[in-house]
């Protein structure tokens, strides 16, 4: 496989500083070496240009930094679409999760895609339901056609970018009350930690894969490192106790790789300032490896 690494050092979509250093931390954790060791051809495309927060003003409290985020999302969408057009696998490094406004949309420009959102949060708020105004809590809703028109359509395209019936959130455990209403109305599949505990990770994954891949060309995985329990991934801005274990997260990536349908991937919300010895970035590299073919074979 030919893999394009695309960095998005953005911290405009959330409130805690430091996540803009995530792409550097993941690269430092030997991402390229890991993927090349699996036999892939890897090209690092560098970083998408992102302005520093101090140059972006908050003109709309319910849509913080939207004037800066939308142009970045357009650049990300273009980079991902171009990667797929060349027959490559885009691996997008964040940065906060608002970058998925561009990455998933870029994938959807080239393919009919279903999306698996591996995250402690649903990111399904709109400007009308958000308690914070942080856009990293809105990207999946916008991709499904809900919210401010500047987020649901980056250009003049007709939303939604993805069919809500082909989106699945896995590992959720921190949802806002009005966000739940949005999810119910849209018909997005949500499998939270309670259900994973009841039925097991493999059964939960199979439900997600069956839902999002039906009649689609491929699956896009957007992996927020806060999906894991903070014991394993301390370097995230919005940690929530009771998350996925190390092995459950690996299993998710391994099973998705085994479908042969994975066409692109985000690794987001790695915050080196809050991390311990780059532990969370190293996990991100391991999960990228699992999603792209790394296995431990037992005879």
Choose the catalytic residue: 65, 97, 127, 250. 97
The pLDDT assigned to 296 comes to 66
Active site residue 266: no
User: Could you tell me which of 139, 130, 71, 137 has the C-alpha nearest to residue 105?
Assistant: 139
Domain ranges (residues) in the chain: 2-291
Q: Does an H or E element contain 6, and which? A: strand 2-8
Handedness of CA 127, 128, 130, 136 (dihedral sign): negative
Candidates 3.40.640.10, 3.40.800.10, 1.10.2020.10, 3.30.390.30; correct CATH number of 2-291? 3.40.800.10
Tell me whether residue 224 is one of the annotated catalytic residues: yes
Catalytic residue among 4, 224, 248, 254: 224
Q: Is 148 a catalytic residue?
A: no
Name residues of the chain where pLDDT drops below 70.
Answer: 296-299
pLDDT at position 252, please?
97
Name the active-site residue from 226, 248, 266, 282.
226
Q: What is the pLDDT of residue 295?
A: 84
Active site residue 250: no
Active-site residue (options: 4, 96, 123, 229): 123
- Residue 108, C-beta contacts closer than 8 angstroms, at least 6 positions apart: 143, 161, 162
Tokens 């999302």 appear where? 73
pTM value surpassing 0.85: yes
Instruction: Supply the pLDDT for residue 264.
Output: 98
Q: Is the dihedral of CA 31, 36, 40, 46 positive or negative?
A: positive
Residue 82: the pLDDT is: 98
SS3 percent helix, strand, coil of the chain, rounded to 5, is: 45, 15, 40
pLDDT at 297 (0 to 100):
57
For residue 110, the model assigns a pLDDT of 87
């Amino acid at each position: 496989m030919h893999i394009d690494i695309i960095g998005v050092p953005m911290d405009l979509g959330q409130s805690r500083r430091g996540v803009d250093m995530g792409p550097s931390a993941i690269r430092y954790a030997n991402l390229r070496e890991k993927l090349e060791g699996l036999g892939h051809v890897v090209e690092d495309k560098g970083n998408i240009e992102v302005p520093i927060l101090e140059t972006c003003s908050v003109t709309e409290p319910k849509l913080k930094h939207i004037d800066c985020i939308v142009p970045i999302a357009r650049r990300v969408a273009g980079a991902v679409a171009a990667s797929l057009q060349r027959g490559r696998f885009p691996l997008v490094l964040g940065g906060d999760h608002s970058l998925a406004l561009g990455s998933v949309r870029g994938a959807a420009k080239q393919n009919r895609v279903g999306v698996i959102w591996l995250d402690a949060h649903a990111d399904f708020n709109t400007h009308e339901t958000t308690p914070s105004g942080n856009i990293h809590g809105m990207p999946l809703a916008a991709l499904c056609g809900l919210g401010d028109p500047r987020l649901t359509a980056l250009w003049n395209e007709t939303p939604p970018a993805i069919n809500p019936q082909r989106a699945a959130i896995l590992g959720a455990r921190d949802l806002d009350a009005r966000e739940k209403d949005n999810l119910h109305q849209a018909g997005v599949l949500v499998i939270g930690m309670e259900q994973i505990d009841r039925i097991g990770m493999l059964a939960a994954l199979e439900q997600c894969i069956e839902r999002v891949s039906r009649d689609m060309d491929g699956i896009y995985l957007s992996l927020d490192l806060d999906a894991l329990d903070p014991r394993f991934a301390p370097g995230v801005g919005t940690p929530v106790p009771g998350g996925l274990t190390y092995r459950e997260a690996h299993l998710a990536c391994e099973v998705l790789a085994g479908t042969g349908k994975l066409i692109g991937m985000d690794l987001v919300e790695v915050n080196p300032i809050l991390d311990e010895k780059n532990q969370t970035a190293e996990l991100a590299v391991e999960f990228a490896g699992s999603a792209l073919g790394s296995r431990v074979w037992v005879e």
